[in-house]
Amino acid sequence: MNQPATGQRGQLIRGIGMIGGSLIVLNGMIGAGIFATPSDVAASAGVLSPWLYLGAGVLFTSVVLTFAELSSYFRISGGPALYATKAFGPLIGFSTGWIYFVSRAASIAANSHVMAYFLGKVWPWFDSDPDRIDIGQVVVVVVVIGTITLANVVGVKGGVRALGFFTVFKLVPLLIMILLGLQYVTPDILFPEVLPTINDLGGTTLLLIYAYLGFEQVLIPAGETSKPKETIPNVLVFTMIATGLLYFLIVLVFISVLGDAAAQGGDLVDVGRKLAGPIGAIAITITAVFSIGGNLSSSMLATPRLTMALADHRLLPRWFGHINEKYSSPANSIMFLGGMALILALSGSFVLLAVATTLTRLIIYVVCIAALPVIKGKADRTTIERAYRIKGGYTIPLVGLALCLWMITFSTAKSWMLVGILLVVGLGIYQGEQWRIKKQHAGTG
């Protein structure tokens, strides 16, 4: 893809290194999912649950490795939208980017409400009636979204520092919980002699894979990443392995500590309560808050670079591509994302968008995996030689493609309808911008 055509703005700072990139991937994947899914997986798979999380991670690595190779062909921001545009043209590229952007805005909105829910476990004032938005929930939503928006407006390093803060308070309590809970692990739990029958294999797989979604966020701000062709592939592979092992240990402790209660609606807060009493329950509740906060911060750091990239390539109005001269950040795109997420969160309409989030991700993964051979075919010999290479040719990408297509078959008609509506809205914006450009050219011709 050609370099961006916009010349009216300041320069981005390549302030994301190996640590910053790892924080983006880690917080992109570890959010509310690991606190919400273990009980449902345990109800379906029992003592096999820890191994299923690990196995799902191994399978999903095929998708991650494909993106690792894709990322090594580019040094500019854009991620999935950039790859789709390079391979299939601006229309598919914009559609891919727009669907991803809206799904991330909906995810930020939804997770801000989940944060209010967990805060309500410690301070009931923050909890809300499911049929209305209470003042406590409004306060959480406004403060959380406003804070992470401001932190990223003041620069990418401010966003990375916020990620570092959330990551420390997310991982330390979870690691302590694992250390305290390993004493409950027995050989029968770790290596069960009788294997349970897995109920609803498709639905269980979707839950397992859901815990690994979000890795792609590090691809979007490649234009602000130091040595992106080397940094991003290494970050993806390293963080995926670390996250898979962490999930395995968390769920192993979850099954071992709670026993039968693990499959009957128990959660990690119950594990903390059993290990350390009320203090343990409060600690894990606060950990959930920081985990969700890290996920929100990661989304706010990475996603605005997508609309900025779309504007750079004349697929959105130039306003989205403006770089703040003082802070060297895409301030307009950041504020647009924060504003959209806030509106969705306060209106409640984010619920409909959140339903289609997983489906949109899978569609994006399919498009990008299909783009790999096209991009390799267009690259020159030097670029190909310097790119990150997956062993086995296209075998691993084909495994990832098959996995995504298989999971898509379990999506509901309602999800497809919502994705279709989002596409129509996005295509309307895209077409409007193209008409404006043609009119401008006609006026100057």
Of residues 269 and 129, more confidence is placed in 269
Average pLDDT taken over every residue of the chain = 82
Interval 364-410: pLDDT, tens: 999 999 999 999 999 888 888 888 888 888 999 999 999 999 988 88
Q: Each residue of 421-432: pLDDT tens digit?
A: 878 888 888 888
Q: Among the ranges 304-308, 393-397, 411-415, which has the highest mean pLDDT value? A: 393-397
Domain boundaries of the chain, sorted by first residue: 18-444
Which has the higher per-residue pLDDT, 233 or 130? 233
pLDDT of 9 reads 47
Whether the full predicted model's pTM is greater than 0.85, yes or no, is no
Highest mean pLDDT among 275-289, 411-425, 427-441 belongs to 275-289
Per-residue model confidence as pLDDT tens digits over 313-339: 788 888 888 887 777 778 899 999 999
- CA neighbor of 78 nearest in space, from 364, 357, 344, 362: 364
More confident call, 308 vs 57: 57
List of residues 6+ apart from 172 with CB closer than 8 A: none
Which stretch of 37-46, 248-257, 344-353, 372-381 has the lowest confidence by average pLDDT?
344-353
Q: Tell me: pLDDT of 349 over 50.
A: no
Mean pLDDT of 37-60: 88
Has residue 261 got a pLDDT over 50? yes
Confidence of residue 58 (pLDDT cuts 50, 70, 90): very high
- Decide if domain 18-444 falls under CATH 1.20.1740.10: yes
Instruction: Taking residues 102-115, report their average pLDDT.
Output: 81
- pLDDT band of 223, cuts 50, 70, 90: low
CA distances from 132 to 113, 138, 300 (A): 12, 11, 26
CB 308 within 8 A of CB 76: no
Tokens 């990375």 — which residue? Answer: 160
